[in-house]
Structure 1
Amino acid sequence: MKVDFMRKMDYWIGNPLCFSLSCLHILGRVFPRKKKEPKKVLFLELSEMGSTVLAYAAMSKTKELWPSSELYFMIFKQNQESVKLLEIIPEKNLILIDNSSLFRFKITVFKALIRMKKEGIDTIIDLELFSRVTAIISYLSGASNRVGFYQHTMEGLYRGNMQTHKVSYNPHRHVGVNFLSLVYALKSPDGEWPLTKRHISEKELHIPRISSSKEKLDAIWEKMLSCNPALTKKHILIIINSNAGLLPIRAWPLESYAALCKKILTHHKDVLFVITGVKDAAHDAEVIIETVGEEHCINLVNKTSFRELIDIYNSCHLLITNDSGPVHFAPLTPINIIAFFGPETPKLYGPISDTAVIIDSQFACSPCVSAFNHRKTLCGSNECLKSISVEYVYKIVEEQLENIHHQASHHQKQGTKRQ
């Protein structure tokens, strides 16, 4: 299903359903259920792959607070690899929703609800920002603890009154902190309002470091070599991710990417550009290759699996990317990152990384994509990104390349000493 269709369905069907179920929930308070200690906890995040990484701290905190608990995750079928990658949720505990059509969506949701009842899911942590469909799924699951974001006194964002733990969404704190607040809400004392009243530091945000075996690194090297036989170990490999996925408004202009690559090559002959992405990025790859020449590129568009992306990041030196999935997956590796933000704010969705440089023009109208408009903006021209000059970005690339050369020289000296 297309994103706009899902938004409309969430609004026109979700609103009346949320209201009806909320009335049912209010009637049910006459015979309230006892609170249960979380034993089987399901994290609910359907559409966002990058947010799965940002939720890692929340998932690990759940295991820390309730060591004997068993974790589950519900996500769209095509996004499941982002959960598997983190290796914190057993694969058997993934509950997948097929959104390829409305019919398949309804069938898989129905099956998921049956499975959740059979599994005895007692706690649902709804990571979606004011999605009505996940609020409905959460309620129909019958879980005793239903944690989710609630609008309280905010206008709009109605998703019913069905959560047992209503958490304030804070648009001024990183989304990873917001996810942690959902978990901590389960520890909040009775009568606390609104949730969650405690200090949560961004230092609590963490993600795993995922390494690649020698076999996997060799395999990805062979794949890159087959795309460009000129590849050697002496090359500096810069990954270009010019595609912005479902939200193209987040993309730095393609012509700027091409011009940047050309400028880098003018001063650094030892650079090869590794172009990644799914089939939608094919046109981007063609433009960049035409600009800098095929001999300077390794075109991996639509040629790798999701898991192989990690092997690519572990094999390369620098990633230049829009605000999209790779900006969150790359920090799982040591790769250096340059990321463009504009329609979305890095204060909320910045990567959890010490090696990332964020470029954000901080326009007065930015961010224009948020939970408050369900990530749908009226902007037809992303001047916040177009205003970022190639010259400005190149200076940052120069700094990164200098550090990379310095690190390579240091490692070489260390190797010589050991010999």
Structure 2
Amino acid sequence: MKERNNIWRKRLDKWIGCPLLFMLGFFHQRRQAETFERDRALRIVLVKTAAIGDTILLSAVVDEIKQQYTNSHVTVICSNDNLPMVRLLCGVDDIFVFRMNQPVQSFLKLRALQKFDLLLDFGPWPRINAIISWMVRADYTVGFKRSHMYRHYTYDKWVEHLDTLHEMDNYRNILQGAGIQPAGRLPHFEASGGASIEHRPYVVFHQYPGGSMEKQRKWPEARWVELGQWLHQKYRIRIMLSGAPSDRAAAEHMESLLRERGVSAESIAGVYSLGEMIDVLAKAKLVISVNTGIMHLAAAVRVPLIALHGATSELRWGPLSDRAVVVKSGEACQPCISLGFESKCTDPVCMRNITVDMVADEIERFWR
């Protein structure tokens, strides 16, 4: 059974998680926050069990902690879903993988962990995150209170998770709830030179949103083909088609469509690891992506980026980079996704109404 977007896990998370957390919270005695000296060797655990994009944002949180508490020891509790990204976070000292398909064994191993000074849970809705946070031995815990999620009862302090803030600012509020004043750091990754890439200039197309609500965040295939033709005719630049291993067939199909039209295109879906993709993105002349983890990674390496937004708000999930622009169609129904799964839309006109001309205009602004 897959770990992410599994309908039965989501149902169990709600049916079991809500009453269990309410009961645990009824007996929970909330503790007072402690003021930590900067030179103290703090043991801090961060809970984040899903999503590559969210985990990229978490890199700035780790950076904030390590800059302010240089002797701190940071552990991240993740799942197999976001483990590859957690491994790339600078400043993480230990990783605990919570195996969603082995919850009992994972909970028992959590209790065996050494006690922590501080636990910060960055999951806005999964109740299992809150249960994990309760199981871990920590002197003080901070997590989100989200409307209608009923998951905040066991934290010593909760902060409101708000749609009106960028998720990075929601994360900063968690830090403030723990008495850590954020300095406004942003996700940042440096290319390592590990990926072998031909030096000819290229543009990266990332078409595949991944996760839930994929249909609502996709730009039509025909638009990508049209954009590829325009780029070839105007700039004679090659196009790299990135994606996960599960996107390989779709990316190879797109490669064939573009090559039939004389466009220099190459599918790299599933070819490079996440760490190698940092190099691929950093060396690109431009990245064009829908709202997904690769978009956030491109922003974090500060490559010129065009982010296509439809069902998701750029104010909530936009790229955090001064070298990025957002293109959207501006439909009255936008946005309809906040947590990642709540949209009822079956006809995403917001993405369909992003025209090639709109994207081409932004490309020309970058390359003037």
Amino acid at match of 1:129: P
Amino acid at match of 2:229: K
Q: C-alpha displacement at 1:147, in angstroms?
A: 0.2
Q: C-alpha displacement at 1:16, in angstroms?
A: 1.5
Q: How does 1:219-368 map to 2 (within 5 A)?
A: 219-221=196-198, 233=199, 235-247=200-212, 248=214, 249-269=216-236, 271-293=237-259, 296-368=264-336
- Normalized against structure 2, the TM-score is what? 0.89
* C-alpha distance in 1 between matches for 2:139 and 2:299: 35
Aligned CA distance change for structure 1 residues 9 and 88 (closer, same or farther; 3 Å): same
Name the SS of the counterpart of 1:292 in structure 2.
helix
* C-alpha distance in 1 between matches for 2:255 and 2:296: 26
Deviations 1:63-105 (A, max 9, x none): 3443332111111124222122221202xx1111223x3xx24
Pairing partner for 1:66 from 58, 64, 69? 69
Which of the two has higher C-alpha Rg?
A: 1
CA contact (8 A) 1:177 1:205 kept: no
Q: C-alpha displacement at 1:257, in angstroms?
A: 0.9
Amino acid at match of 2:218: A
Aligned CA distance change for structure 1 residues 315 and 60 (closer, same or farther; 3 Å): closer
Corresponding residue for residue 39 of structure 2: none
Which has the larger helix fraction? 1
CA RMSD of aligned residues (A): 2.2
Corresponding residue for residue 166 of structure 2: 174
* C-alpha distance in 1 between matches for 2:155 and 2:240: 46
Q: Which runs of 5+ in 1 are unaligned?
A: 189-197, 222-232, 404-419
Q: C-alpha displacement at 1:160, in angstroms?
A: 4.3
CA contact (8 A) 2:78 2:96 kept: yes
**Is it true that 1:134 corresponds to 2:129 in the alignment?**
yes
Count of residue correspondences: 356
CA contact (8 A) 1:57 1:180 kept: no
Corresponding residue for residue 125 of structure 1: 120
Name the SS of the counterpart of 1:85 in structure 2.
coil
Q: Which runs of 5+ in 2 are unaligned?
A: 37-41
Amino acid at match of 2:60: A
* C-alpha distance in 1 between matches for 2:81 and 2:124: 20
* C-alpha distance in 2 between matches for 1:320 and 1:147: 36
Pairing partner for 1:56 from 55, 59, 64? 59
Aligned CA distance change for structure 1 residues 106 and 390 (closer, same or farther; 3 Å): farther
Aligned CA distance change for structure 1 residues 323 and 149 (closer, same or farther; 3 Å): same
Name the SS of the counterpart of 1:142 in structure 2.
coil
CA contact (8 A) 1:254 1:284 kept: no
Q: C-alpha displacement at 1:36, in angstroms?
A: 4.7
Corresponding residue for residue 18 of structure 1: 21
* C-alpha distance in 1 between matches for 2:184 and 2:217: 28
Aligned CA distance change for structure 1 residues 141 and 322 (closer, same or farther; 3 Å): same
Amino acid at match of 2:341: R
* C-alpha distance in 2 between matches for 1:358 and 1:106: 43
Deviations 1:28-54 (A, max 9, x none): x3xx75655562111111012111221
Pairing partner for 1:398 from 339, 364, 367? 364
Q: C-alpha displacement at 1:12, in angstroms?
A: 1.0
* C-alpha distance in 1 between matches for 2:90 and 2:134: 27
Corresponding residue for residue 147 of structure 1: 142
Q: How does 1:181-220 map to 2 (within 5 A)?
A: 181-187=173-179, 204-213=184-193, 216-217=194-195, 219-220=196-197
* C-alpha distance in 2 between matches for 1:205 and 1:73: 19
- Normalized against structure 1, the TM-score is what? 0.79
Aligned CA distance change for structure 1 residues 290 and 64 (closer, same or farther; 3 Å): closer
* C-alpha distance in 2 between matches for 1:284 and 1:344: 23
Deviations 1:298-334 (A, max 9, x none): 2211211121101111222111111001011112324
Aligned CA distance change for structure 1 residues 37 and 77 (closer, same or farther; 3 Å): farther
Q: C-alpha displacement at 1:398, in angstroms?
A: 2.5
Amino acid at match of 1:239: V
CA contact (8 A) 1:239 1:318 kept: yes
CA contact (8 A) 1:113 1:140 kept: yes
Name the SS of the counterpart of 2:204 in structure 1.
strand
Deviations 1:367-392 (A, max 9, x none): 21113xx6232111211111111122
Name the SS of the counterpart of 2:138 in structure 1.
coil
Amino acid at match of 1:133: I
Q: Percentage identity across aligned positions?
A: 22
**Is it true that 1:95 corresponds to 2:96 in the alignment?**
yes
Name the SS of the counterpart of 1:73 in structure 2.
strand
